[in-house]
Amino acid sequence: MKSVLLVMLPSVLIPAVLVFIWATVQRRKHPPSKEALESAALLLDRRWLSSGLAPVTFTGVHEGAYSVRKLALLHGMLKIALLTVPVLAFAWFMYTFTRELRKGDEFARRVQLEALSFAFPAILFWMMGMWLMDEIWPTPHHGTFSGALVFLPLMYCVGLFAAKGRYLPTHKDRP
Amino acid sequence: MSGKTSAPGGGGGKLLAVALLFVVIYFAARVVLEATMLPPWVRVSAAVVPVPVFVMLVVGFYRAIGCLDEFQRLIQLKALAFAFPASWVLISTLGLLEKAIRLPPEDLSYRHVWAMMPIFYFLGLWLAQRRYR
């Protein structure tokens, strides 16, 4: 729990807050025109490619379930039941992801491909880095698979966010 | 990753060269890390050397995706859409297993899962190409 509060949460929240501040400053500097907002309507719609939200939910549910499991007063059966909760969140991700893959148009698929082509090598790179770290400073904390489960979904979420942002019209696109 | 791109100007060949360079540098770093009597700064430097090449590889792969035609893009999407959830399931299962029993790090660690991920990708690529053959 302490490591979640001191390391995990700040490493997720601080970049997000910095991006939000930067975006707010940019929006004030270059207020978007009505045409730009209209053309960005699809990209700004949260329901479009909602598979980006499922990984965040998975990470929250996974960390929450595993933190609650550590409480000593919980019954054994409840501890086992808590292990299945992240599986439901993963099932939701797979449902939204597959639905978008099947029913999405060419643009949706392009955004998904860009998200995956960031997420997959990023996870590969992260794992490779953790392995090398284990070789230099062997500690049991580096090599846990539960730790990787937090980063894997978030990488897809970051990839999707970046891919959507790439197609947003900016002040540079103005005639 | 595969280097099978239709990027103009020989982009695919360049990507393949970077991938091969990465593999060579990575295994060279591994050989250096095997020597435990080396001072820590040498070991840390050896661990960091593959990073810039990997960044080049990811950027090249990302750019090559943009140069693909629609059909190749679909193939790549299907390959990654198989590899990413498959890696997720593998890591989830190992995450549950490590809670249940002690997994020996010499048999099951990031080292082994890392090696599985490109296999998933190439399997996905093969499945996607087979589907549209």
- What does the pLDDT average to over A144-159? 82
Contacting residues for A76 by C-beta, under 8 A, at least 6 apart: none
- Give residue A56's domain range: 35-168
Band of pLDDT at residue A68, cut at 50, 70 and 90:
confident
Specify the range with the lowest mean pLDDT, choosing from A33-42, A100-109, B122-131: A33-42
- First-to-final CA distance of chain B: 21
What confidence tier does A45 reach under pLDDT thresholds 50, 70, 90?
confident
pLDDT in tens, B77-112: 889 999 999 998 888 888 878 777 777 777 777 777
Q: Please report which confidence band the pLDDT of residue B127 belongs to, taking 50, 70 and 90 as the band edges.
A: very high
pLDDT band, very low/low/confident/very high, at B3 (cuts 50, 70, 90): very low
Spatial distance between the Cα atoms of B28 and B109, rounded to a whole number of angstroms = 20
Q: b/e map of B17-55 (b: 16 or more CB within 10 Å)?
A: ebbeebeebbeebbebbeeeeeeeeebeebbeebbebbe
Residue A142 is given by DSSP the state T
CB atoms within 10 A of CB A6: 10
What pLDDT score was predicted for residue B120?
Answer: 92
Whether residue A45 is contained in a domain is answered as yes
ipTM value of the model?
Answer: 0.73
B79 near A CB under 8 A = no
B86 to chain A, minimum CA–CA distance in Å?
11
Residue B4: what pLDDT?
A: 43
Mean of per-residue pLDDT scores for chain A: 80
List chain A residues with CB under 8 Å of B85: 94, 97
Rounded to an integer, the average pLDDT of B44-71 is 83
Q: Is A7 a domain residue?
A: no
Q: Of A87, A113, A134, which has the smallest distance from its Cβ to B80's Cβ?
A: A113
Residue B44 pLDDT class (50, 70, 90 cuts): confident
**Whole-angstrom Cα distance, residue B73 to residue A117?**
11
Asked if the structure places residue A102 within a domain, the reply is yes
A62's enclosing H/E stretch is: helix A53-69
B92/A149 touch (CB, cutoff 8 Å), yes or no? yes
For chain A, count helices (H), then strands (E). 8, 0
Residue of B nearest to A147 (CA): B95
**Confidence (pLDDT) at A142:** 60
Q: For A143, phi and psi rounded to 5 degrees?
A: -95, 15
Q: Is A59 within the bounds of a domain?
A: yes
> How many folded domains does chain A comprise?
1
User: Does B119 touch chain A if contact means CB atoms closer than 8 Å?
Assistant: no
The per-residue pLDDT for A4 is 65
**pLDDT digit string (tens) for A86-95?**
888 888 888 8
State whether B62 and A114 contact (CB < 8 Å).
yes
Q: How many CB pairs under 8 A join A and B?
A: 116
CA A156 to chain centre: 5
So what's the pLDDT on residue B8? Answer: 40
- Judging contacts by C-beta atoms under 8 Å, the chain B residues touching residue A94 are 85
Measured between CA atoms, the residue of chain A closest to residue B84 is A120
B41/A contact by beta carbon, under 8 A? no
Q: Are residues B110 and A120, on separate chains, in Cβ contact within 8 Å?
A: no
Q: Are B30 and B19 in contact (CB under 8 A)?
A: no
Domain ranges of chain B: 1-68, 69-133
Instruction: Estimate the crossing angle of helix A76-103 against helix A106-136, to 10 degrees.
Output: 140
- Is residue A6 situated within a structural domain? no
Q: Which residues contact A146 (CB under 8 A, 6 or more apart)?
A: A62, A66, B95, B98, B99
| Residue scoring higher pLDDT (A119 or B38) | A119
Question: Is the pLDDT score of A49 beyond 70?
Answer: yes
- Nearest residue in chain B measured CA to CA from A119: B84
Confidence grade of residue B123 (pLDDT, cut at 50, 70, 90): very high
